[in-house]
Structure 1
Amino acid sequence: MKIKPECALCITRQVVDVAKELTDDKSEQFKIIAWGLKKISEMYSESSVPSFMGTELHRHLKLKTQNSDPYKNLKDVANEFALKYLNDVEHLLESDDELERLQKKVKLAIAGNVIDFGPFSTDVNIENMVKTTLDGKLDLDFSEELLNELKNSKKVFYTCDNAGEIVFDLPLIKELKNYVEVVVSVKGSPILNDATLEDVETAGIDKVTKVITSGTDTIGIRFEESSEEFLSELNSSDFIIAKGMGNYESLTEYEEKRENSEKIPVYYILKAKCEPVAEHVGVCEGDNVLLRKEISKV
């Protein structure tokens, strides 16, 4: 997915958020924002991919501020919130109907996707957004296809998105394991508020299934930077489940069939939190999405 003109607003706001998170000193904030705006001006073009551009920007800010994890405090808060909230909603996820049960757990995973300090500012009412998602529906629903594919597969590659939301991924991952082997992937090192191994341990995912890292700090997935282990696990899976807009923005860049490559199905689970992504998916902003597409294997 290529960048849209209005993506400039989101990526600029991220720079302001990082500056405010790192320091209360206004002069330092201006300095950090100036660094970010200069970097944006170097990268911003209609051929850019939002997640790849965001990666370079946040790498630049980490280097300039000498802070390897600017969103550390926010990630911890998101994890704490999600763990408390999960206890309140888990009883709502059960059903004797396997399709309904799968749909409920996909919706919970989408509800977790609202815990994202990238497209949303850091002062939004996240609890209200989670409740609204759980009470809503799948506006784009490929759950029957997902269930059928699960019944005819052996292994699924599940790539996570943000800290906090990975807590809400856990019930879905457990449900998937009723059918297939599941390999979960997170970032190799901190970038934005994306989940790392530390967050996986907090969520308890490492206790229920195999977890690896991408070997890099790319927002979304960039095969050219991913580790051999990551590529091997992905290529040996029957299909991918990709959480969040960053994974959608990046993986859709690999839809064009490469020479001598085969296709692998991808189920995107996300909330369309901005107009550019919603337009690309073909839904309305704010819709809950479970979409099946295909990309070329590496």
Structure 2
Amino acid sequence: MRHYGIAQECIPCVLKQCLSTARFAQLEEGQTARILAVARQAIEDSKVKPLLVQHVVRQVADAVIQERGESPEFDIYAEVKQRSNALSLAHVPMFQKMLACSPEPIEMGLHLAAAGNIIDFGVKPHDDIDLEHEIRNLDQTSFARYDIRPFRQALHKASNLLYICDNSGEIVFDRLFLEELMRQFPRLRITAALRARPIINDATLEDARAVGLDRLVRTISSGSVYPGTILDETTTEFQTLFAEADVILSKGQGNFETLHPLADERLFFLLRIKCDYMANLASVVKGGLVLIQGSPLPSGRCPDSSRTPPPQPTVD
């Protein structure tokens, strides 16, 4: 018998994020109460229906848009997304210097792309993140799990890579990493997939154009309207690319939550572990960066100590 229901550990975070969205959208008290009621009802519905956290977040976003009387494509976080993109772009010269000086630019690029995953308003309210501080200190967090050996092996054999993006701002560091991949693997065909509609601060095709990602690699909409990738609810084009990809790099916690159950060895998850629930799922300490190859993770498994951590960034 199949059991439904959103994990109890996730419910407080979901409600907090919903409240943050309502306040950020400048809803009145009565409107905010209705938004929280939508979230609580969706959580209750998840006990008897196959609903995920991502479904709840989408329902709440749509309810907020409706309360404001906006069109379905309205971007609640448009201003803060533009700011995070601009701040990240302003630091590109510094990170390009770090990459140029690194003896292992691919691993340095991985580190920057993973560390950039802190720019996530689905976990922290926008006013709880000091973007300038976080961007300047991307080198201060190490990898708690680092499946670099199978990732390199997969890249050497691959003809095409599907790169599933996560947040705005963060995609600037994805671009830097992809530039390094293209230098070392010039024959690798890369497609970057982004969200179909604005949701929290997740990156869309508009964000990809804003940071120049579309001028570097092929960019497509995955069809996902969620802060994650629910494969059955993506476009036929994306599903075909997913099926045909030799390597799939998935960024961020939402994509990890939704794609990890596939247990696909072509998948590599690159993110920062931001909560206890995800830390338990990945068998690592909260707060660390991870590069995890997709495969079942037995409960209680510890990171393989034979995996060598990446070189630490330095700036002269």
TM range (shorter): 0.7 to 0.9
Deviation at 1:144, TM superposition (A): 2.5
Kept in 1: contact 2:18–2:57 (CA 8 A): no
Structure 2 Cα separation of the partners of residues 226 and 158 of structure 1: 15
Q: Is residue 282 of structure 2 the alignment partner of residue 276 of structure 1?
A: no
Of 55, 75, 81, the residue aligned with 1:75 is 81
Map 1:253-272 → 2, pairs under 5 A: 253-255=261-263, 263-272=264-273
Q: Name the CA distance, whole Å, in 2 between partners of 1:269 and 1:176.
A: 15
Q: 2:266 is aligned with what amino acid?
A: P
CA apart distance, 1:177:
2.0
**Pair 1:152 & 2:157 matched:** yes
* Deviation of the 1:47 alpha carbon: 7.1
- Pair 1:5 & 2:8 matched: yes
Residues 1:213 and 2:221 are matched in the alignment: yes
Note if 1:252 corresponds to 2:260: yes
The separation in 2 between residues aligned to 1:29 and 1:58, in whole angstroms, is 12
Matched residue SS, 1:6: helix
**1:55 corresponds to:** 58
The corresponding residue for 2:314 is none
Describe the shift of the 1:294–1:183 C-alpha distance in structure 2 as closer, same or farther (beyond 3 A).
farther
Secondary structure of 2:277's aligned partner: helix
SS at 2:294's partner residue? Answer: strand
What is residue 232 of structure 2 aligned with on the other side?
Answer: 224
1:187 matched to 2:195: yes
Q: 2:109 aligns with which of 105, 110, 114?
A: 105
Give the C-alpha shift of residue 168 in structure 1.
1.1
Map of 1:117 onto structure 2: 121
Task: Please state whether the residue corresponding to 1:241 is helix, strand or coil.
Answer: strand
Structure 2 vs 1, CA of residues 57 and 240 (structure 1 numbering), >3 Å: closer, same or farther? same
Give distance in 2, aligned partners of 1:19 and 1:246.
20
**TM-score, scaled relative to structure 1:** 0.87
User: Given that residues 35 and 61 in structure 1 are in contact (C-alpha distance below 8 angstroms), is that contact kept between their aligned partners in structure 2?
Assistant: no
CA contact (8 A) 2:102 2:108 kept: no
Q: Which amino acid aligns with 2:289?
A: N
- Looking at structure 2, the residues matched to 245 and 182 of structure 1 have their Cα atoms a distance apart, in angstroms, of 22
1:61–1:43 CA distance, 2 compared to 1 (3 A): farther
Once the two structures are TM-superposed, the CA of residue 79 in structure 1 deviates from its matched residue by 1.1
**2: CA distance between counterparts of 1:4 and 1:170?**
34
Provide the rounded CA distance (Å) in 2 between the counterparts of 1:146 and 1:129: 27
Rounded Cα–Cα distance in structure 1 between residues aligned with 2:126 and 2:176: 26
Bigger mean CA deviation after superposition, 210-219 or 152-161? 210-219
Q: What residue is the counterpart of 1:202 in the other structure?
A: 210
Letter in 1 for 2:281: H
Q: Structure 1 stretch 102-111 or stretch 20-29: which is displaced more?
A: 20-29
- Residues 46/292 of structure 1: CA separation in 2 closer, same or farther (3 Å cut): farther
What is the CA–CA distance in structure 2 between the aligned matches of 1:132 and 1:74, rounded to whole Å? 20
Query: Identity of paired residues, percent?
Result: 26
**Deviation by residue 1:83-128 (Cα, 9 ceiling, x = unmatched):** 112233221122463xx21111111112211001001121122333
Write the letter of the residue equivalent to 1:207.
R
Residues 168 and 96 (structure 1), Cα distance of their counterparts in 2 relative to 1, 3 Å cut: closer
TM-score normalized by structure 2? 0.82
Letter in 2 for 1:265: R
**Residue in 2 that maps onto 1:91:** 97
Rounded Cα–Cα distance in structure 1 between residues aligned with 2:69 and 2:200: 14
CA contact (8 A) 2:155 2:247 kept: no
Rounded to whole Å, the distance in 2 between the matches of 1:52 and 1:37 is: 12
What is the rounded CA distance, in whole Å, between the counterparts of 2:241 and 2:66 in structure 1? Answer: 31
Aligned residues: 286
Report the RMSD for the aligned CA atoms in angstroms.
2.4
Does the 8 A contact of 1:49 with 1:249 survive in 2? Answer: no
Q: Which whole-Å CA distance do the structure 2 matches of 1:95 and 1:142 have between them? A: 23
Unaligned runs of 5+ in 1: 256-262
Find the partner of 2:248 among 240, 255, 262.
240
Q: Give distance in 2, aligned partners of 1:47 and 1:217.
A: 17
